[in-house]
Structure 1
Amino acid sequence: MQPADEFDPSQQPLPIPPTWPTPPPLPPDVMPQATTVQPPPLPAPAIVADTPCVGCGYNVRSMELTAMCPECGTPVAATLDGGLRHAPEDYLRRMVLATRLIHWGMIAYCGGAVFFGLLGVLFGDWLSAVGLPAGPMRGSGGGIMLWTLIIVVPVITMLLGFWMFLTPHPGMAENRQPKTARLLTRVAVGIAAVAALSTAGTTIVAATRTGATANAMAGMGAVTGCMGCAGVPLLLGLLLPPLAIVTWLANLDTDESSAILTKRAKRLYWLLPVLVVASPAVGYGLFLIGVFGSIGAGFGGSGSRPDTGSAGFIMAVVLGCGTPLVCLIAAMVLIWHIFFHTYKLLSRSLQARLLTVAAIGTPTPQENRDEQLGNS
């Protein structure tokens, strides 16, 4: 039995903890906000390979993309975009001249071939009567040489324009340069130029060394064989450059108008073979008309002259020349459209470049260095 007066701690109540007043809530404008620690900004990417400045050729290797060229003040980022806004003035002038040579050479080639060929076939008698070159279809030495000049000179002009147009863009990154297309195209252009000149030389020799009509036509047979051998490189020389130019447009970073131009150019891929196939078809069609007309066969005429009013002659002209001529004109108009708008694009870029230089001037290297030191 436990005594009644003995103290038992387990029977005592627990002490009541003290209570503290609840603090009033803070207003929203002084509530503590959660803060996050931002990582330090990454350094701007730098150019790790030897790269010439698009404006002056200065090597901008190891420079940041946000920097400026210390020699000419051109943004370093513009060196890699491959556009035309910061392209050198001499490069833009070269490209403008190349496009002029190309599209005027195309106009002269097609216009001269069609006009002079039809002129010799339809009005050969009158031209011969007044002592003018009647064209190669009449066996005239002067006509053969004139025909050669009308055909070969525009072809050489176009090939020269193609060669100049394939100049590497100084501001396009190496991994975007169409090196393979440029190499193959320049090889094809060189071979085509040699083939065109050799064909012209053979034609002129055949025209000057043969006197009679029969001998002249025999000489033209040799020329035709030479042109057949040179046909493949000529076709490659006329086919590959437009494809390479379309590739150049596809890799060019400019404004929205050039993007539309690139889409149009890609749609015309299939017209390029039509162009280079239909063009010699016109010439050979006229040549065959002249040959058949000179022997008096197939046109309903008598003697050595064709009857230009007969149904057979008209049918031969329509079928032999009309169809490829229509294809040629359609393809030439569309292809010329591409080169013409390319010329406008380059001219606009050159004009903007000249206006920019005239407005702000070309800063000296010391001014560029002072500006960079001030910004840093």
Structure 2
Amino acid sequence: MHDDHAQHELPPAPPLPAVLSLDDAVCVTCSYRLAGLDAAGLCPECGTPVARSLMGNHLRFASPQYLRWLHTGLLMIIISFAGQLAIMALSLVVGLGMVIASGMGGVGTPAMMVFTFVSALLGTLVSLLGLYGWWLFSTPDPGFVGRNDGGQARRLVRVSVVLLAVMSVAQVFTATPAAAARPLVMIASMGMGVIGLAITALWFFAAILYIRWLAPRASNTAVALRTRLYIWLLPVLTTVGALLCGLGPLIALILFWIMLDALRRDLKHIRAEADRLAAAPGPAVEA
């Protein structure tokens, strides 16, 4: 029992720079500027102990709402990954079955076109869930103190997520059986595919850099180090790996999934500890 409990305990916080002065500090809960307040007092806006906002940028001292957004976003992303894998497997099995059943002439038949549209629709819904998860996961921290706030990578993630969401919805309409038969629609669909690849590349590199910035705040240096490998390995698996063995994109997706799930587990335990900190009584304030 003791060993199991020890495995779930968070490691000591890394030596992240703490706020040495109230002049530049803001409340970790509501972003109220704390200049001129007593370090032993409470935030006049939300009642959070001022001392808690002076403990540095480790996630265990972040706003509970911010942690909830991060954790919920990661959970949506992981569910989306699982859904994508399920749709890929289902499409492969059903597609092969339809081709075999029609005597190797099933591609292009009305049944296959309907199946292609349905699978594209399901894939879009799953993708939108994951994109919304990335939107939540890239929420700005209202209580972060310092200049290196990961803002550039975080904003690029959000911009690319919005663009990918718009393109995902547009591609559903071009995948309908009626639209797919039109030459202009086919050309437009191919063009959107090329643009989508460029936006996906932008999202991927921004997401990797954002995770590299966030992971040390969760005491997970292993994930931060892994991003230095994955920033080039995953694109190679997705491109060259797809040409060589066809399994490269699947391997890349699983590796990315495992890394994000490790961060999700950290956030789950950090949220529990943050809730305990939030429930702890603040310092007494003299009348």
Please give the TM-score of this superposition, normalised by the length of structure 1.
Answer: 0.60
> Of 128, 150, 168, which residue of structure 2 is paired with 1:196?
168
Read off the aligned partner of 1:254 and give its amino acid letter.
R
Read off the aligned partner of 2:31 and give its amino acid letter: G
User: Equivalent residue for 1:259?
Assistant: 221
Structure 1 counterpart of 2:208, one-letter code = V
Q: How many Å separate the matches in 2 of 1:182 and 1:169?
A: 11
Paired with 1:136 and 1:148, the residues of 2 have a C-alpha distance of 16
RMSD: 3.2
- Specify the alignment match of 2:64 in structure 1: 89
* Aligned partner letter, 1:148: A
Distance 2:253 2:266 in 1: 20
- For CA contacts below 8 A with separation 6 or more, give which structure has more relative contact order: 2
Residue 153 of structure 1 is matched in structure 2 by: 125
Paired residue secondary structure (1:270):
helix
Aligned counterparts of 1:342 and 1:242: Cα–Cα separation in 2: 17
Contact 1:135 1:144 (8 Å CA) reproduced: no
- Residue 336 in structure 1 maps to residue 257 in structure 2: yes
Rate the CA distance shift 1:82–1:276 in 2: closer, same or farther, 3 A.
farther
Once structures 1 and 2 are overlaid, which stretch shifts more, 164-173 or 224-233? 224-233
Structure with the larger helix share:
2
> Shift in Å at residue 82 of structure 1?
2.2
Give yes or no for the alignment of 1:323 onto 2:245: yes
Q: Is the 8 A contact 1:103 1:158 kept in 2?
A: yes
The 1:106/1:227 distance shift into structure 2, 3 A limit, reads farther
Of residues 86, 106, 115 in structure 2, which corresponds to 1:143? 115
**In structure 2, distance between residues paired with 1:260 and 1:356:** 26
Identity of aligned residues (%): 21
Asked if the contact 1:94–1:164 (Cα under 8 Å) also holds between the matched residues in 2, the reply is yes
**Could you tell me how far 1:239 is from its partner in structure 2?**
3.5
AA of the residue aligned to 1:55: T
Paired amino acid for 2:161: V
Deviations 1:100-144 (A, max 9, x none): 111211221233124313421244454x79xxxx99754424213
CA distance in 2, matches of 1:337, 1:58: 37
Residues 102 and 271 (structure 1), Cα distance of their counterparts in 2 relative to 1, 3 Å cut: farther
Distance (Å, rounded) in 2 between the aligned partners of 1:329 and 1:352: 35
Q: Which is greater in Rg?
A: 1
Map Cα deviations across residues 18-54 of structure 1 (whole Å, 9 max, x no partner): xxxxxxxxxxxxxxxxxxxxxxxxxx942434x5311
d(CA) in 2 for partners of 1:357 and 1:135? 61
- Equivalences for residues 350-369 of structure 1 within 5 A: 350-358=271-279, 360-361=280-281, 363=282, 368-369=284-285
How far does residue 323 in structure 1 lie from its aligned partner after superposition?
Answer: 1.9
Distance 1:275 1:150 in 2: 25
Count of residue correspondences: 262
Distance 2:108 2:236 in 1: 25
One of 185, 199, 203 as aligned partner of 2:157: 185
Post-superposition Cα deviations, 1:139-168, rounded to whole Å, max 9, x if no partner, equal: 424213212123212221221111111111
Aligned pair partner of 2:31 in 57, 81, 100: 57
Q: CA deviation at 1:171?
A: 2.5
Aligned residue for 1:72? 48
Q: Secondary structure at the match of 2:48?
A: coil
Cα separation, partners in 2 of 1:334 and 1:100, compared to 1, 3 Å? same
Of 109, 113, 122, the residue aligned with 2:88 is 113
Map of 1:12 onto structure 2: none
Q: Is the 8 A contact 1:203 1:223 kept in 2?
A: no
Residues 111 and 278 of structure 1: CA distance in aligned 2, closer, same or farther (over 3 Å)? farther
Q: How does 1:161-172 map to 2 (within 5 A)?
A: 161-172=133-144
Aligned to 1:39: none
Aligned-partner Cα distance in 2 for 1:45–1:351: 27
Q: 1:56 to 1:180 in 2, by over 3 A?
A: closer
CA contact (8 A) 1:188 1:233 kept: no
**In structure 1, how many angstroms separate the alpha carbons of the residues matched to 2:75 and 2:204?**
14
Q: CA deviation at 1:277?
A: 4.6
Q: Is the 8 A contact 2:40 2:49 kept in 1?
A: no
SS state at 1:176 partner: coil
Give 3-state SS (helix, strand or coil) of 2:217's partner. Answer: coil
Shift of 1:169: 1.4
Separation (CA, whole Å) in 1 of partners of 2:107 and 2:165: 22
